[in-house]
Amino acid sequence: MPTEQERPTLWDKLRAFWRNTDWESNLIVPLAAIAFGLLAGSIFVLSIGKSPLAVYKAVLDTIFGSKRSFLDVIGQATPLVFTGLAVAFAFRTGMFNIGAEGQFTMGMLVAGIAGIKLHWLPGPLLTLVCLVAGTLAGGLWAAIPGWLKAKRGVHEVINSIMMNYIALYLTNTLVLSKWLREPGYQATFEVPRKALIPNFMGTTANWGIILAVLAVVVVYYLLWRTKLGYEIRATGYSPTAAEYAGINVPNRLLGALVISGLLAGLGGAVYTLGVKRRVFQLFGFTGIGLDGVAVSLIGRNHPAGVILAALLYGVLYRGSASIQLSTGVPKQVVGIIQACIIFFIAADEIVRFLLKRFSRKGEAA
Amino acid sequence: MNTSVPFVEMRGIVKQFPGVLANDRIDLDIYRGEIHALLGENGAGKSTLMNILYGLYRADAGEIRIDGKVVHFDGPNAAIRHGIGMVHQHFMLVEPFTVAENIILGNEPHKGIRLDRRQAIAKVEELSEKYNLHVDPHARIADISVGMQQRVEILKALYRGAELLILDEPTAVLTPQEADELIVTMRQLVAAGKSIIFITHKLKEVLRSCDKVTVIRRGKKIATLPTADASLNELATLMVGRDVELTVSKTAASPGQPVLQVENLHALDNRGLPALRGITFNVRAGEIVAIAGVEGNGQTELVDCIAGLRQATEGKIKISEQEVTNLTPRQVQEAGVAHIPQDRQKRGLVLNFTVAENMVMRSYFRPPFSSGLTMNQGLAEGYAKNLVAKYDIRTPSVQTLARSLSGGNQQKIIVAREIDQNPDLLIAAQPTRGLDVGAIEFIHKELLQQRDAGKAILLVSLELDEIMALADRILVMYEGKIVGELSGEEATEEKIGLLMVGERGKGGETVAN
Amino acid sequence: MNLNYVTTTTLLFFAVRSAAVLLLAGLGGIFSERAGVVNIALEGMITLGSFAAVAVTLLTYQPWLGVLAAILSGALLAALHGVLSIRFKANQVISGTAINILAAGLSSFLMKSIFDQGGHLLLDTAPKVADWSIPFIKDLPWIGPILGTHSPGVYLAFILTGVTHFILFHTPIGLRIRAVGEHPHAADTVGINVYRIRYLGVILSGILAGFAGSVLSIGIGTAFLENMAAGRGFIALAAVIFGKWTPLGTMAACLLFGVSEAIQVTSNLLGIGKYIPSSLMATFPYIITMLALAGFVGRTVGPAASGQPYEVDKR
């Protein structure tokens, strides 16, 4: 049994942290991947005869051009923190929650329904009810593929994608039904003002960011400071060893996917209450859940990394809106850049390979 | 057939892996018509050298000559063209394919673009006739015995025109009798002019079946000598580099009350076929009971059932009079069972966890490591540091990932963790597989100490030497049943070997299926 | 349900047509998975293929050049997936996801920069691939309305099913593909180039999925829409699993999923539309896919090494 050790000082802890962190894979490789991704995007910009520098300048000008557009970056990043966390959490259990998209959509929808239908509740309580309802909806949406994975061994990816489509069409069915639709709108009625999450200066940024940061802290604590976190990580790395250690593996798989869904659902609810105010008909996926995959990967599936990656995405999102106007480059170039960043992150061997090449050239010069 | 020019000459072979010099200027000559043993401990560099000869690895320095001419192998194809064939320790067979399909793979007879199955089968039959290696070309690999799979591997090499056969630890998976048959086959092959390199770490086999032996230690060639001039002790000293005790010193056991009682146990394997068919035995406090048998006769399933990792379909398991049949692994553990699993990398450790996290793998959920929902990593690290010191585990720190440690040190983490649970029953499944002599000695000593401290120990091993050195009682498993029991004193390799292939020993009881 | 001669034959006509698109992609999935590479990028290959077909047809007025472009674009994406997951050992599911994002982004980007269009791109006056009518068959009752006239891609899908079966199970290359997906190390030790076989499998899957895209946009339809693939790549993959990684089994699964899609498309004709709004009917194929997987997976086993990168030991 353990004996009392002398308590390590903060300095010891910091030193141990520095020593034990793999800086190359956690910092250098993601940064290089982003750089290479931007470089690859530049090639596409060049291919249509435009200047990539002008594009990046336009992005930076927009973001630092006004307080409002800077706030918009944060506003765009907020829902991505939730979906990014959701995906990261599932990755830690060895599962790929591409269903964050559908879970986010369900969170959006159900939070909206709760706000409209329970409008008689007092303000703060109504907000809380909406958030809880949206969160649970996301959890439920994840529980279905989670259950199929845990009990029937069906891979979660195809099922989650099917659930994404079902969420999409279910949303449209309900949004356009007599029960919810506001006449003259392709959307539901508005959620009562008293239930909304206040925003900053009329931008997309809102107090939901506090919830996002809180969620990051909770996820960090859960993963590395609790029994459940230990079990989830063990299951993710090696289900066979986890079983031997006495962990109920199917149960933990299901649990982790549900927690992941709760996070995405909460993100959807915050999005409705803080930004959209009502639920609109969808003409395709929101993309926020799908981008959660990229955010998680760029953030190295680490809660803190997710925040930084979400901010990067906020910049790309907000920037893309203005580059089309100011440079004539189609905003869709952002999608290409995103894909390239994921390529480089996923195949980090490429990045290591390229980095070695560059540093060797540097030595030769 | 020996001529003055060797068939294969390896000269000054060097191979550097990150952190290890696997081959350090090794020379090796193989003549036609000889069986040449390559002897060395696990990790000595034998497999690396042979992978270089077979074109799977490239040497950093040195050259290979065939019939006196320098050759460069850029892959197995080139080696195959020069008449080199290899039978890997883990068979390279595609399970859902038939015997014939496996043999012709990569060199398929065809009519136009169509695969010519008839000709394939004819060729396999012809070869199997010629070298007296009987196989059924139509059978699926998944359905045939390990011995037959090995014959398929040998035929695969001969089909490609092999003149030199490299056999990597070929007897590891065989019964003593099957091993004898293999030696007969090898004799026939060299009589037909082939050469054989026989990779092994078993001294007796070298003396019994080979003409010459080359000993390798820590990447260096130590000696090449004719086996006629060698003795067991001499080879052991050459292989390990110091005098080793070939037998573990052991006092007589004084068994107490039964700790583990298994009654009429039945269970299925992963494919849903019966793997255990009515197993009954017990293990008493203060004794080591060993399960012997050819791999795949239900040993894995038996251990899994006892440890709660597999459901029994029938029968009872009791630990110290408490029934634990089909309880969860956690409940079985709480009943007083510790388990050193057979697959340390898949079961025994989470390779991406730190040493500390692995050390608390079976106790993280209890105080003081956990209270309520939270878990205290600091305490886990302190605990791990103590065990690392006590069991002399070589690791830079307890925050190092288990992945980066050597096999021996990984196994020591598991042994330390399981023994420290202070169990009533310790299950040790192939506890020394793939380890070097030092680590093996350490683990054998620990197991005996635990026995002498009054624990019940169930040992499962494929190595007869290990079983005969440690066991107080030996149970032999064959096709999901226990077909015989021997005391440690009366056991001989021959007796165990006969039981391993399902023949009843003395007593003449027939095997009822 | 209102099932008479007209509605039944219409339903089955749509079923065969929808099944064919899934089947082409599914056959691609078989080649890729049998060689050991999971390919969830089928979706993106269909997307880019359907765009490339329309774009090139608009530029050349030659629909068959459009088809060729679709095939090439699918093959290119597949080559990228191959390099990432074979050469650089990226997680195959993640690499596939990135390909899907890339395909969506690339087709919108090109549509905007070449044609200055957003959301969809119509063929307008450019011709689509002309339908084939099978003489004699087209005049038969029942069979005629169902099978008599289709886009060439639909017939090719079913012909290619037989071809795929022959290649996989009756040729040396098929034996090698299967060996690489089951036990790449064994294949390597008998001198088979594991990487080359895997590239072959992946690129074949890109060719077939790209072709499937062209069938969607200029064979059956006359336009490219941004979310045209609508999960077909994933449903095709489900069909592969459901069909136990065999071409014939996959064909059966695709026909089942084709019927579910056809029921959704013809729900008004069948008289279901009155009770269930069409946007809800749209969920039907996805639900059927999930049910099929839930019922059968677990009892089927795929190629043993599928999804695992293979390290050729060059050490």
**Token pair listed for C80:** 């990228």
Give A 19-78 residues with CB within 8 A of chain B.
Answer: 20
Choose the weakest-confidence range: A102-116, A289-303, C12-26, C150-164. Answer: A289-303
DSSP tag of A159 = H
| ipTM of the shown complex | 0.88
pLDDT reported for residue A361:
56
Beta bridge partners of B167: B87, B198
Shortest CA gap C93–chain A (Å)? 8
User: What angle, rounded to 10 degrees, do the helices at C232-242 and C247-265 form?
Assistant: 140
Question: What is the C-alpha separation between B84 and B157, in angstroms, rounded?
Answer: 8
User: Residues A201, A202, A208, CA angle at the centre, nearest 5°?
Assistant: 85
Least Cα distance to B279 among B298, B291, B262 occurs for: B262
Contact partners, residue C77, CB within 8 Å, separation at least 6: C41, C44, C45, C48, C99, C102, C103, C206, C210
End-to-end CA distance of chain A: 58
**Cα–Cα distances in Å, from A320 out to A56, A71, B129, B191, B258?**
10, 15, 73, 77, 74
Residue A11 pLDDT level (bands cut at 50, 70, 90): confident
- Residue of B343, B350, B354, B419 for testing the chain A interface, max A β-carbons within 10 Å: B350
User: Which residues in A lie closer than 8 A to residue B370 (C-beta atoms)?
Assistant: 227
Residue of chain C whose Cα is closest to the Cα of A95: C93
One-letter identity of residue B456 = A
The predicted model gives C48-74 an average pLDDT of: 95
The per-residue pLDDT for range A64-89, each reduced to its tens digit, is 888 888 899 999 999 999 999 999 99
pLDDT reported for residue A69:
87
Choose the weakest-confidence range: A165-169, A350-354, B126-130, C64-68. Answer: A350-354
Question: What is the C-alpha separation between B52 and B56, in angstroms, rounded?
Answer: 6
CB of A85 within 8 A of CB of A298? Answer: no
pLDDT reported for residue C315:
39
The predicted model gives C28-52 an average pLDDT of: 95
Any chain C CB within 8 A of the CB of A173? yes
Question: What is the C-alpha separation between C59 and C46, in angstroms, rounded?
Answer: 20
Residue A311 pLDDT level (bands cut at 50, 70, 90): very high
Extract the residue ranges of chain B whose pLDDT is less than 70. 1-3, 245-248, 503-513
Residue of chain C whose Cα is closest to the Cα of B16: C315
Question: What is the C-alpha separation between B49 and C166, in angstroms, rounded?
Answer: 41
CB of B440 within 8 A of CB of B432? Answer: yes
**Cα–Cα distances in Å, from B262 out to B298, B324, C173?**
14, 10, 51
Least Cα distance to A238 among C95, B416, B361, B342 occurs for: B361
Contact flag A349-C89 (C-beta cutoff 8 Å): yes
**B272-291 burial string, b = 16+ CB within 10 Å, else e?**
eeebbbebebbbbbbbbbbb
Of A356 and B289, the structure prediction assigns the larger pLDDT to B289
Q: Residue with structure tokens 């993640």?
A: C94
**Token pair listed for B272:** 């849903």
Coil, strand or helix at C183: coil
- Residue of C117, C283, C296, C314 for testing the chain A interface, max A β-carbons within 10 Å: C283
The per-residue pLDDT for range B135-187, each reduced to its tens digit, is 999 999 988 888 889 999 999 999 999 999 999 988 877 878 888 889 999 99
DSSP tag of A5 = P
CB of C291 within 8 A of CB of C260? Answer: no
pLDDT reported for residue A230:
95
Question: What is the C-alpha separation between B79 and B90, in angstroms, rounded?
Answer: 20
The predicted model gives C195-219 an average pLDDT of: 96
Mean pLDDT (chain C) is 90
Question: What is the C-alpha separation between C73 and C56, in angstroms, rounded?
Answer: 11
- Residue of A1, A9, A227, A233 for testing the chain B interface, max B β-carbons within 10 Å: A227
Contacts 24+ apart (CB under 8 A), B276-281: B276/B301, B276/B302, B276/B305, B276/B312, B276/B480, B277/B479, B277/B480, B277/B481, B277/B513, B278/B315, B278/B480, B278/B481, B279/B315, B279/B477, B279/B480, B279/B481, B279/B482, B280/B482, B281/B475, B281/B482, B281/B485
Question: What is the C-alpha separation between C244 and C300, in angstroms, rounded?
Answer: 6
Contact partners, residue C240, CB within 8 Å, separation at least 6: C26, C29, C30, C33, C250, C253
Residue A272 pLDDT level (bands cut at 50, 70, 90): very high
**Cα–Cα distances in Å, from B229 out to B3, B35, B211, B214, B264?**
21, 15, 10, 13, 51
pLDDT reported for residue C181:
94
Q: Which of B347, B352, B374 sits opposite A226 (nearest CB)?
A: B374
Shortest CA gap C139–chain A (Å)? 39
The per-residue pLDDT for range C254-303, each reduced to its tens digit, is 999 999 889 888 888 888 878 888 888 889 989 998 998 888 665 566 78
User: Residues C254, C151, C75, CA angle at the centre, nearest 5°?
Assistant: 70
Question: What is the C-alpha separation between A210 and A74, in angstroms, rounded?
Answer: 11
Question: What is the C-alpha separation between C270 and C264, in angstroms, rounded?
Answer: 9
pLDDT reported for residue B270:
85
CB of C74 within 8 A of CB of C53? Answer: no
Question: What is the C-alpha separation between B139 and B137, in angstroms, rounded?
Answer: 6
Contact flag B94-C183 (C-beta cutoff 8 Å): yes
pLDDT reported for residue B338:
96
Percent of chain C with pLDDT over 90: 58
> B392, exposed or middle or buried, with CB in 10 Å at 0-12, 13-18, 19+?
exposed
Altogether, the residues listed in chain A come to a count of 365
Backbone angles phi, psi at B123, to 5 degrees: -65, -40
Coil, strand or helix at B15: strand
User: Which residues in B lie closer than 8 A to residue C190 (C-beta atoms)?
Assistant: 76, 80, 92, 105-107, 156, 160
pLDDT reported for residue B513:
35
The per-residue pLDDT for range A171-198, each reduced to its tens digit, is 999 999 999 999 999 999 999 999 999 9
Residue of chain B whose Cα is closest to the Cα of C167: B114
User: Which residues in B lie closer than 8 A to residue A250 (C-beta atoms)?
Assistant: none
Helix or strand run (H / E) with residue C95: helix C92-115
User: Which residues in A lie closer than 8 A to residue B399 (C-beta atoms)?
Assistant: 16, 20
pLDDT reported for residue A208:
94
pLDDT reported for residue B505:
45
**Cα–Cα distances in Å, from C261 out to A232, A282, C15, C224, C294?**
38, 21, 7, 19, 19
Mean pLDDT (chain A) is 88
User: Which residues in A lie closer than 8 A to residue B330 (C-beta atoms)?
Assistant: 246
Q: Which of A227, A238, A244 sits opposite B370 (nearest CB)?
A: A227
H-helix segments, chain A: 10-20, 23, 29-47, 52-65, 67-92, 100-117, 123-152, 156-175, 208-225, 227-237, 239-244, 249-271, 288-298, 303-327, 333-346, 348-364
Question: What is the C-alpha separation between C174 and B381, in angstroms, rounded?
Answer: 53
Q: Residue with structure tokens 């007897």?
A: B171
CB of A100 within 8 A of CB of A287? Answer: no
Torsion of CA B280, A243, B347, A235, to 10 degrees: 170
The strand ranges marked E within B88-141 are: 110-111, 114-115
User: Which residues in A lie closer than 8 A to residue B368 (C-beta atoms)?
Assistant: 1-2
Give B 95-134 residues with CB within 8 A of chain C.
Answer: 95-97, 101-102, 105-108, 110, 113-115
**Cα–Cα distances in Å, from A314 out to A69, A89, A99, B160, C289?**
10, 21, 21, 60, 35
User: Which residues in A lie closer than 8 A to residue C289 (C-beta atoms)?
Assistant: 158, 162
Contact partners, residue A63, CB within 8 Å, separation at least 6: A69, A70, A73, A315, A318, A319
User: Which residues in A lie closer than 8 A to residue C85 (C-beta atoms)?
Assistant: 347
Instruction: Report helix, strand and coil shares of chain C as percent, to nearest 5.
Output: 70, 5, 25
Question: What is the C-alpha separation between B27 and B65, in angstroms, rounded?
Answer: 11
Residue of chain A whose Cα is closest to the Cα of C85: A347
